[in-house]
Chains A and B, each alone.
Chain A
Amino acid sequence: MQPPEERDEVEMLWLMLLIRRFEERASQQYQSQKIGGFCHLYIGQEAVVAGAIAATRRDDYIITAYRDHAHALARGTSANACMAELFGKDTGCSRGLGGSMHFFDKEHHMYGGHAIVGAHVPLACGLAFACKYRNEDRVTLCFFGDGAINQGAFHEALNLAALYKLPVIFICENNLFAMGTSVERSTSLKQIIQRAEGYDIPACIVDGMNFRAVRDKLAEVIASVRKEPHPAFVEARTYRYRGHSMSDPASYRTKEQLEKYRLDDPITRLRAQLTREGTLTNEKFDELDKEAKRAALDSVKFAEESNEPPLAKLYDYTYAP
């Protein structure tokens, strides 16, 4: 069995910075109408995907919902390809045909970008089924929000995963809200993980604002799933700083709540940990941040200069040849 690649914590800090700076640029470009449709930002939740990715191998599969920019970046899709997708350009990761909610990157084992809440959870079972079918020891990470756990598709998928002992790790990114609906107003159980327990799937909770906590817990879970295929469930408690989408003023939550989570910022936290331990200087951090900002800015330039998908290709992807 191949071990996970060691991912340098400084490298993962850089990834979180890249995600944040990329999305800040995306937000700005959305406001100047370079980006259309719906656009959901991940800012605040970076430690979840970074921690999870740090615990995976590069050939593991991931799949997520529509808040997907970070997942593609974490998987190694270039900032250029991500921004170009938002701009609807031919150089985008989905050739400008998918948009913000539908990022795909086969090369990096990123299986979407899915915009119907809950609909991709069964797909994750299919990915995991194929791995088991072929006797591969890959695992599939399936990300979704707290709102997805009330969809029928979610329930059917969990049962199938448990029944067929599929190597899939369900990661619920609990940011407390599904649009304007808080978890208490949407879910009958006190604890989200009880949902998984109801299907006899081992489940745990991690602090999704803490990179190391996510990584270490996921490393443990993944090792177990890789050894003997079975599903697992992780609830990562996190928070989105921005509204649900670019058009949501988020007036259903308090300033105090937002401030509380901002003070617990995942980037600030990892930075402090690394600085305290002597692995990171302030100069090095500034350099990383400057790099991240530059990469984000460059991606805008790349997207602007890229070509639109040709009209002649309109029919090319409706059916496979």
Chain B
Amino acid sequence: MNMREITYRQALNEALAEELARDPNVFLMGEEVAEYNGAYKVSQGLLERFGPKRIIDTPISENGFAGLGVGAAMVGLRPIIEFMTFSFSLVAFDQVVNNAPNMLTMSGGQFNIPIVFRGPNGPAHQLGATHSHATECLYANVPGLKICTPATPRDAKGLLKTAVRDNNPVLVLESELLYSSKGMIEPPHVELLIPLGKAEVKREGSDVTIVCYAQTVPLALRVAEQLEEENISAEVLDLRSIKPLDEEAIYKSVAKTHRVVVAEQDRPYCGVGAEICYRIQKNIFDELDAPVARVSQEDVPMPYNERLEHAVLPNAEKLVAAVKKVCYA
């Protein structure tokens, strides 16, 4: 099979196009998705190809169009709702948290909500406190939502396609900083579906496991490279999905390395890493040769200043230090 190199943005675009072509119930709705071709150009060319009935520009009314999506899903359409960024999904929090995931239970199993909420999530670069939210920990707290966080073009395409076919509300948390990154992927005619809830080892290692997702995956790979020079062999485990969580993959890797650092892009207090650390100590405590370490954002609103922003983010210095700590190096 001839693998080819494409960008994360193109991969998402292919996934959208393929799912729109496959199922007439799928439509894409959001701010600037149609005529502008997407604020980040993810929906480039889709209006031209699928027309204004299926690629729909909205006013700046997140609560409204997210709710419209949930309603349409109740009667069998399969909406893909784009948030220009997930920081703006907070305006639609009620729809995403209260309506979409509760419906199936509240209706005694009558109404499932096959909807995808997607868009860039997490800090980008110097966007300040209102525009830098990593929302995964907020949404991960909600039963009924599924959440994936692709870090590579291949995962972006395969996870988004799976998300569209899932019969539940799925959040596809993309990353602005990754849109232009490149990676190898199967040719277009190959049906690429990556299951939700399956982690992937992005780099094999034997001394320590770095559990990561989204923006912390390229960070972990860079750090692993650097640690290699200091004779520390780090395994990089990309969760790919936050919920469901691939616990088996985590335990398997930790049983091999016996040391683990969780590198998350959200905040420490009740962050995704807190849950992972708890499960590791609960289920495979005996495998650990050191306490589990965690690297995350600092617990402060995001400052605009570049140096301070860097200090708040989970960065290479923090990750290297955490790895060395668990390795007693």
Contact = CB atoms under 8 A, between A and B. Distances in A.
Interface of A: 36-38, 88-89, 94, 96-99, 101-102, 114-119, 147-148, 150-153, 178-181, 185-187, 252, 308-309, 311, 314-315, 317-318
Nearest to B307: A308
Contact of B60 (A88, A115, A150): A150
B129 interface: yes
Given A37-B128, A88-B304, A97-B305, A252 B36 contact: yes
Given A37-B125, A186-B59, A179 B130 contact: no
17 contacts: A36-B126, A96-B308, A97-B129, A97-B308, A98-B129, A116-B91, A152-B64, A152-B91, A180-B35, A181-B35, A181-B36, A185-B35, A186-B59, A252-B35, A309-B305, A314-B308, A315-B298
A157 B300 CA distance: 29
Interface string B109-129: 000000000000000011111
B321 to A, nearest CB: 16
Contact of B311 (A36, A97, A115, A311): A311
A115 B303 CA distance: 14
User: Do most interface residues of chain A lie in helix, strand or loop, or is the interface mixed?
Assistant: loop
Interface of B is mostly: loop
B303 A97 contact: yes
A148 B60 contact: yes
B59 A102 contact: no
- Contact residue range for chain B? 35 or more
A178 B60 contact: yes
Interface string B57-93: 1011111100000000000000000000001101100
What 10 A-B pairs have minimum CB-CB distances, sorted nearest first?
A99-B304, A36-B126, A150-B59, A88-B305, A180-B36, A37-B126, A186-B59, A96-B305, A97-B303, A115-B130
A314 B127 contact: no
Contacts of B299: 318
A315 B303 CA distance: 10
Interface of B: 31-32, 35-36, 39, 57, 59-64, 87-88, 90-91, 125-131, 298-301, 303-308, 311-312
A152 B68 CA distance: 14
Given A88-B306, A150-B61, A181-B59, A102 B31 contact: no
Contact of B128 (A101, A147, A151, A152): A101
Nearest to B128: A99
Given A88-B126, A181-B31, A97 B304 contact: yes
A119 B63 CA distance: 12
Contacts of B63: 151-152
Nearest to A188: B59
Nearest to B301: A318
Nearest to B131: A115
B131 A309 contact: no
A318 B300 contact: yes
Contacts of B61: 150-152
Contact of B129 (A38, A102, A308): A102
Contact of A185 (B57, B87, B311): B57
| Most chain A beta carbons < 10 A, residue from B32, B61, B298 | B61
Contact of B59 (A38, A187, A314, A318): A187
Given A88-B306, A179-B31, A179-B39, A36 B125 contact: yes
